[in-house]
Amino acid sequence: MPEEKYVAVAHRPVAKQQHGEAAFFDVDNTLMRGASLFHVARKMHQRGAFTIAQAAGMAWKQLKFVLRGENLNDVHAVRDSALRLAAGITEEDIKALGEEVYDEMIASRIWPGAKALAEQHLRVGRKVWLVTATPIEVATVISTRLGLTGALGTVGETKDGLYTGRLVGDILHGAAKAVAVQGIADQHGLDLKRCWAYSDSYNDIPLLTMVGHPVAINPDARLRKHAREHNWPVYDFRSGRRAATLGLKAATAGGAVYGLWRGYTRFRGPRA
């Protein structure tokens, strides 16, 4: 991934830098509740045409993700929808969209416990990077707002300042995250055996196994099993809310779809 897509942030003083050490955080269901890419697609849909079937499909994918964890087919489906809608939009508009998505949809979904872990790494002098399949523009906003070191995310291709609807490389997911983190380690002189990685998904095993301190946060069933078998730490920030919310989420799936459809079908001006 190109160096210019990395984001350096210095919003707060930290302890003396721990050379060779860093922490890497997945975003979806790890740092925040739900899928950030879903909210990007939702905001993009608000700017253009769509059908009730698209709205219902996206709502169902988000609900499954919150309740059961990551499914690669669903991630790719939402990605493809977002790419189609992004074609022809300017880079500045996408950056502004990232700010809107954070303020309206992501900020309230940040897990306080995960945020506290990231802040603790910063306090003792470790760099903290986000590593996520979400678009780099949105990952950058999250990183900046939380005062982290930087972000790695999926990069959309641009030509003459406009997005083409294609990717530079592939979505930053699974094994691709491990490749990206190795690149950061090489550039910044990190000793990965002295680094931490946090994720909720079994798909991130390549990333988790390359560091000396892998941690499962809000893990899906397969990652929870793997973490127990390998004696990895497990944090579940959902537990306190699960009893109160799980049944409600399942019971109101139809209402969620209808609510999204109503939100999407409000009149919107032409796409920027």
28 is catalytic: yes
186 is catalytic: no
With tokens 């996206």, the residue in question is 58
Catalytic residue positions?
Answer: 26, 28
